[in-house]
Chains A and B, each alone.
Chain A
Amino acid sequence: MRFRHEGTALALAALALGVMSADAAEPRVTRLAATEGAALNDWDTRIDSMLRAGDLQLRRTHEDTLLPSRQHVRLDQAYRGVPVYSGQVVRQTEGERTVSVFGTLYEGIDLDPRPTLTADQAVAVIEKLSGADLGPSRVPRLVVLPRDEGGYVLAYTARAFTESDLVRYFIDARTGALVLSRSELQRQAVSGTGTGVLGDRKKMSATVGVGGVGFIASDEFRPPAIFTFDMRGNLTRTNAILNGVVGPTLNDVANDSDNTWTDGPVVDAHSYAGWTYDYYFLRFNRRGLDGNNLEVWSLVHPVRREDIFSASNSVVNTFFLNAFYAGDGIMVYGEGLLPSLRLTNGQRVDYLAGALDIVAHELTHGVTDYTSGLIYQGESGALNESFSDMMAAAAEFYYQGRAPGQSDWLIGEDAFVPGGIRSMQSPTVWGDPDHYSIRFTGPEDNGGVHINSGIPNHVFYLATVGGTNRVSGIAVTGVGQANIEQIEKVMYRAFTAMMPSSANFSTARAVTIQSARDLYGAGSPAERAVTQAWNAVGVN
């Protein structure tokens, strides 16, 4: 995603700048681990000497809770009063006796400990780099920083929340250059549970929050990072993120205090994005939208349901009643309607993230973006929509099986209740054509991309289940529901590997038949089913 790329660039810049500002002295690192004999006595004496000289400074003393007679003293290294970053010694004592000494000390430091920059100037540099406002409490600390590549540098250090990370910066205290930056966000993948929009329990792949507090909707188990952002009804911020004006921050990531998630749209958007990734991987060995584990962002709650009365028609249609793929792996899921409201056809509309097929549909648009790039106009646009419907239905069958009331040949039926928005079995139920002879030819809907998707959708249904086309009366022998995987693979291969971006229905026919032939052989049930299905819907 965008901020990831920026982060990489930042890190590279940091390295480059850091090399330029490094001091000449070679650090000598001593890692001490003395527990007995002369070595322990020597280090004990040396530590006392360093304490008297101010080269070690007491940080903390604590009693051993497991061995009450023991005490542990933590000492930070300092150079002429300036802490040496990561230089530290821990001495264990029992009464007057030293039991052990462990630590790391840096030697050979030779630099002027007086900074040229003020702390405020360092803050300004960090704020510019991070895009964050540090606030008055985030005073950077002056330290001597040992460099991995050799030498020491006098630097200011502070942490800042960037768009999606917690980053520690080291700023050269003389030049203001970035010496080093690194993430300090503790990422610990953890499974939680959540209740979806429909009241069903499912796993949530989450991450422990910053500082170990709470949990965030960041999937670290799967190969791509999958984030779910809770926009909390802030449409202005949602649009700013979609337009790239601002990046989302950690505060935007959906969170939960106990990892038992109760925000249905968050639960479903997050888990279904993962399920869809899994479906593509397990079925087709595909690694994400771009085949290279592109990050997935799901934005939920872009508006508040109660704001519908003051919202414009376009906002209602886009952010209440719609879900869409915004490019670059970003999905937005509409809020649906207040329970008391209905569409003019009597349907109620639940959170759109609550429908697995809607999530899979939108993510498949991403797959199309990175593969065939079917042009979103006319028949190629209808094929684009249809491929998303095919994979949406297939994902539903993959996870929900064929039990009554679960997977089906409807699209969006879990959000648009009752009936969904399209039927692959009977497209005309929703006014969509099931035969080429009655295709929509007007300019609306980009030339009928959603409407005419009913024709290839019906091909997918007929090739799988079989049946007779309502218009042509042509019967199709499908491969059978139990063999739906064959038709899924035929379509996936055709639409991602073989289909040109400007394909029309006739091209799609040829491509899918060829795909079936390649996969299962000439004259195979799959090839026969696909061919018969196209014949049945009048596409030659």
Chain B
Amino acid sequence: MRSTLAVLALSTLAAAAASAADEPRFTVSLNGAFAVTSTEYDSVRTFNAFAEEGRIETAYDAGSGPGFEAGFAWNFKRNLAVGLAGGMVTRDTSGEWTASVPHPLFLNRNRIAEGTEEELEYTESQVHLDLIYTGRSGSFDFSAFAGPSFFNVSADLLGQPDYDQSYPFETITVTDVPALAFDDNGFGFNVGAGVGYRFTDSIGVGVTGRFSRATIELVPQTGADTVEIDAGGFQVAGGLRIYF
């Protein structure tokens, strides 16, 4: 399924901030992130060829991938904080396509070709606004958080294939399936938990697990259906915590 950028730093920070009145009220987190789950989506593009409609249907698999995130949290009350986190992940994405290209000489006799395009671009940017519940035990911080999320997804979608053909045109050899990048935004939610460890009053480390979800609709050029992508998924992040 999908991954989301982590905001875990915020939550960890907030937890720390809430543990005592004289505790730091602000926390900054800098994390490496990893989208654990993959996401799948489909696209259908139609095109005119030889006085008929051709189409290319693609099933995309956007797998796991690395990213980063940064966050900021403010403990406005004991055990409660608000946090803002943002980040980006990229996913290893491939598309299995099936092209149906009309015959130049006969109606309703489309030629079918199949293939896979690897190394397609997929980038997911996220911003999470969370309410964070925090707790502390010794040098350890614990947090749980949830809130709305904003997503931007940029993904390569496959377009009209280039192909070779020769008489009697019974088959085609696809030579290229061009990929074009499209992007759009959407709102969703996120929920997660984290744990941190303080080395000093101002420095520590932490990890966060977050599940997020938003449905993004990419609107390609004329001739293609809207592509719905379930962005987000489960994502882990970990890194530095700064308290002040």
**B-binding residues in A (CB < 8 A):** 189, 191-193, 201-203, 205, 221-223, 259, 274, 278, 281-282
Contact of A274 among B50, B105, B107 (CB under 8 A): B105
- Nearest-CB residue, chain A, relative to B170: A282
Q: Does B138 contact A (CB under 8 A)?
A: no
Residues of chain B within 8 A of A201, CB atoms compared: 107
Q: What are 19 A-B pairs at a CB distance below 8 A?
A: A191-B50, A191-B104, A191-B105, A192-B51, A193-B51, A202-B106, A202-B107, A203-B50, A203-B51, A203-B105, A205-B105, A221-B104, A221-B105, A221-B167, A221-B169, A259-B51, A274-B105, A278-B168, A282-B168
Q: A191-B50, A191-B51, A193-B51 are in contact. Are A203 and B168 (CB under 8 A)?
A: no
Contact B107 A203 (CB under 8 A): yes
Taken together as a complex, chains A and B put the C-alpha atoms of A205 and B105 apart, in Å, by 6
Taken together as a complex, chains A and B put the C-alpha atoms of A278 and B105 apart, in Å, by 10
Taken together as a complex, chains A and B put the C-alpha atoms of A189 and B105 apart, in Å, by 11
4 further interface pairs, Cβ-Cβ under 8 Å (given A191-B50, A203-B106): A191-B51, A192-B51, A278-B105, A281-B167
Residues of chain B within 8 A of A203, CB atoms compared: 50-51, 103-107
Scan B45-60; emit 1 where CB is below 8 A from any A CB, else 0.
0000011100000000
Taken together as a complex, chains A and B put the C-alpha atoms of A205 and B107 apart, in Å, by 11
Scan B84-113; emit 1 where CB is below 8 A from any A CB, else 0.
000000000000000000111111000000
- Nearest-CB residue, chain B, relative to A260: B51
- What band does the interface of chain B fall in when counting residues whose beta carbon is under 8 Å from A? 10 to 19
Residues of chain A within 8 A of B103, CB atoms compared: 203
Taken together as a complex, chains A and B put the C-alpha atoms of A221 and B168 apart, in Å, by 9
Scan B165-183; emit 1 where CB is below 8 A from any A CB, else 0.
0011100000000000000
Contact A193 B105 (CB under 8 A): no
Taken together as a complex, chains A and B put the C-alpha atoms of A192 and B193 apart, in Å, by 62
Taken together as a complex, chains A and B put the C-alpha atoms of A191 and B51 apart, in Å, by 6
Taken together as a complex, chains A and B put the C-alpha atoms of A83 and B105 apart, in Å, by 45
- Nearest-CB residue, chain A, relative to B102: A191
- Nearest-CB residue, chain B, relative to A192: B51
Residues of chain B within 8 A of A191, CB atoms compared: 50-52, 102, 104-105
Taken together as a complex, chains A and B put the C-alpha atoms of A484 and B241 apart, in Å, by 81
Q: A193-B107, A203-B105, A274-B105 are in contact. Are A222 and B167 (CB under 8 A)?
A: yes
Scan B21-53; emit 1 where CB is below 8 A from any A CB, else 0.
000000000000000000000000000001110
Closest 8 interchain pairs by CB? A191-B50, A191-B51, A191-B104, A193-B51, A221-B104, A203-B107, A203-B105, A192-B51
Shortest CB–CB separation between residue A243 and chain B, in angstroms?
33
Could you say which of B104, B105, B167 has the most chain A C-beta atoms within 10 Å of its C-beta? B105
Residues of chain B within 8 A of A274, CB atoms compared: 105
Taken together as a complex, chains A and B put the C-alpha atoms of A274 and B104 apart, in Å, by 12
Residues of chain B within 8 A of A281, CB atoms compared: 167-168
